[in-house]
Amino acid sequence: MQQRFVPVRVREGYSVVIGSGLLAKSGQLLREKLGLCRLAVVTDSNVEKLYLPQLLSSLAEAGFDACSFVFPAGEANKRLNILSGMLEFFAEQHITRTDCVVALGGGVTGDMAGFAAGCYQRGIQYVQIPTTLLAAVDSSVGGKTAVDLAAGKNLTGLFHQPSLVVCDTDTFATLAPDEFANGAAEAIKTAILDDGALFSLFESGETADHMTDIVERCVAFKATIVEADETETGVRKTLNLGHTAGHAIERCSDYSIPHGHAVAIGLAIIARASERLGWATEPIARRVEHALMRNGLPTTTSFTPEALAEAALSDKKRAGGQITLVVPKKIGECVLADLPMEQLLDVFRAGMVAGA
């Protein structure tokens, strides 16, 4: 069985274990890391049916006493009322400071369970067991946790690093194609930032046989960035590649376009703009478009550049009269560029038309 360990060297440090068949071994992996304590497993109503019984039996085999909190699946439930129910549940179950929360599921589960662990009794440990490609390559590493407010997504949360991440790549087999594509968009983003070999896998469309490699490379890349900039004041901003336009598209669509799909369009826009505005040092736009389409992702939008620029400039990430854009120069090299806000419209205009 392929099994990889990627270290994340922040504060106490933790490992991301990646491979096939790991759910059945998760009890043993948690036991090695945590010793014996009580576990509060958090999962959503979809993942409960698919993977909770297997996880609970592996935990019981390893000698753990575990209780589980299940909430209704979906981003609409990443809210304070569910978080509050979770915290009350921990208290009712007499979870103490030396116990541990286990997040079994996608990014919604991870963000909420991590937040709950970070504030319950002023912070207890948690373990991530991501079951979506998006959670595996993105949200389960880095320690960002949050819930949505009526005023916007992820507006309340904290940084709280997990003690361990266990990623069983077999779980991706049950993902709906659109959910898989959502994660692929973030992985393609990483490939554009990091390295040609990873990008080639997406260009060829041969991802199914290389899931462990893909997750390992994405996690290793995110780990180096998070290690350098744990709380996102500098280099971690490069992870926002494709996200300025992506967030604008999400907002313009009133969040009916899923995040990964919006990011895919954002990646295509910034790649085309970079090429047309002379920032790229080699042709990249066609390659980026091709890799995205090969993996079931869109590359164009019917929103106007004006609408996108307006939506982007109400973004929380702007500072003063400047906006920081992540600009791809070639596959494997991106730079941060501070632009006057008025120039964003020109960038979006340059990035709008595919294949021109």
Ligand X SMILES: NC(=O)c1ccc[n+]([C@@H]2O[C@H](COP(=O)([O-])OP(=O)(O)OC[C@H]3O[C@@H](n4cnc5c(N)ncnc54)[C@H](O)[C@@H]3O)[C@@H](O)[C@H]2O)c1
Active site residues: 122, 144, 186, 222, 232, 236, 240, 243, 247, 259
* Residue 277: Cβ-neighbour burial (10 angstroms; 0-12, 13-18, 19+): middle
| Residue type at position 141 | V
Q: Is 190 a residue that touches ligand X (CB under 6 A)?
A: no
- Considering CB under 6 A, how many residues would be counted as binding ligand X? 29
Non-local (6+) Cβ contacts of 26 within 8 A are 55, 58, 59, 129, 166, 168
| Residue type at position 259 | H
DSSP 41: E
Instruction: Determine which residue in the list 128, 171, 240, 295 makes contact with ligand X, applying CB under 6 A.
Output: 171
Residue where the block lists tokens 């004006």 = 306
Q: Is 135 a residue that touches ligand X (CB under 6 A)?
A: yes
In contact, 268 and 354? CB cutoff 8 Å: yes
Q: How far is the CB of 250 from ligand X (least distance, A)?
A: 10
Tokens of 296: 């079931």
* C-alpha Rg value of the chain to the nearest Å: 20
Tokens of 169: 């790549």
Q: Is 182 a residue that touches ligand X (CB under 6 A)?
A: yes
Cross-strand partners of 6: 16
Helix spans in the chain (H): 26-34, 45-61, 80-92, 107-119, 133-134, 177-194, 196-204, 211-228, 243-252, 259-276, 285-294, 305-312, 343-350
Q: Is 105 a residue that touches ligand X (CB under 6 A)?
A: yes
Instruction: Closer to ligand X by CB, 179 or 213: give it.
Output: 179
Q: How far is the CB of 343 from ligand X (least distance, A)?
A: 27
| Residues of span 196-235 touching ligand X by CB under 6 A | none
Instruction: Determine which residue in the list 61, 179, 195, 315 makes contact with ligand X, applying CB under 6 A.
Output: 179
Q: Which stretch binds ligand X (CB under 6 A): 7-15, 107-115, 270-278, 280-288?
A: 107-115
Closest CA to 15 of 115, 128, 111: 128
Q: How far is the CB of 20 from ligand X (least distance, A)?
A: 13
Q: Is 169 a residue that touches ligand X (CB under 6 A)?
A: no
Instruction: Determine which residue in the list 17, 117, 129, 144 makes contact with ligand X, applying CB under 6 A.
Output: 144
Closest CA to 100 of 70, 130, 67: 67
Q: Is 26 a residue that touches ligand X (CB under 6 A)?
A: no
Non-local (6+) Cβ contacts of 232 within 8 A are 144
Q: Is 77 a residue that touches ligand X (CB under 6 A)?
A: no
Instruction: Closer to ligand X by CB, 25 or 78: give it.
Output: 78
Q: Is 174 a residue that touches ligand X (CB under 6 A)?
A: yes
Instruction: Closer to ligand X by CB, 116 or 285: give it.
Output: 116
Q: Which stretch binds ligand X (CB under 6 A): 23-31, 170-178, 202-210, 273-281?
A: 170-178
Rule CB under 6 A: which residues touch ligand X? 44, 46-47, 50, 73-75, 78, 105-109, 111, 131-132, 134-135, 138-139, 142, 144, 153-154, 171, 174-175, 179, 182
